[in-house]
Amino acid sequence: MRNDTCEVFSVNEEKVNAVKQRIDEISGVEHLFKALADATRLKIAYALTLEEELCVCDVATIIGCTVATASHHLRLLRDMGLAKHRKEGKLVFYSLKDEHVHQLVSLALVHAGEVESRDGK
């Protein structure tokens, strides 16, 4: 018998009503997580937490892909509001949009490390 579900159906109406009134506040946040759920984009975001700014060519070399692929992913991160860019001559440099994105990536890394150490991986 599974012990991870309730054996009876019982609703705490006060808690449910309080949360239901606010649940739509999260609407749209899934796009942020969707953008970071891709391994390539997450690597790029992580690289941008390690260096304040990287050009597209640097990113391509770091993650081992073509400049076109790196550019595509960086553009998507920019369009999702996670990264920003600036052009200097013929080079385009990217950085994270703000400290919140840096914190999200850093916290995810810390959490992943905690899970691995707890699970013995």
- What is the distance between the alpha carbons of residues 93 and 74, in angstroms, rounded to a whole number? 10
Domain containing residue 82: CATH number: 1.10.10.10
Structural domain count, the chain: 1
69, 51 Cβ separation under 8 angstroms: no
The pTM of the full predicted model, rounded to 2 decimals, is 0.83
State the amino acid at position 94 in one-letter form: Y
In a domain, 106, yes or no: yes
Task: Look at residue 4 and tell me if it is in a domain.
Answer: no
Tokens matching residue 73: 């992913």
Tell me, yes or no, whether 94 lies in a domain: yes
Q: Which domain holds residue 111?
A: 37-119
Sheet holding 91-96, edge to edge: 54-55, 91-96, 83-88
Dump pLDDT digits (tens) for 46-79.
999 999 999 999 999 999 999 999 999 999 999 9
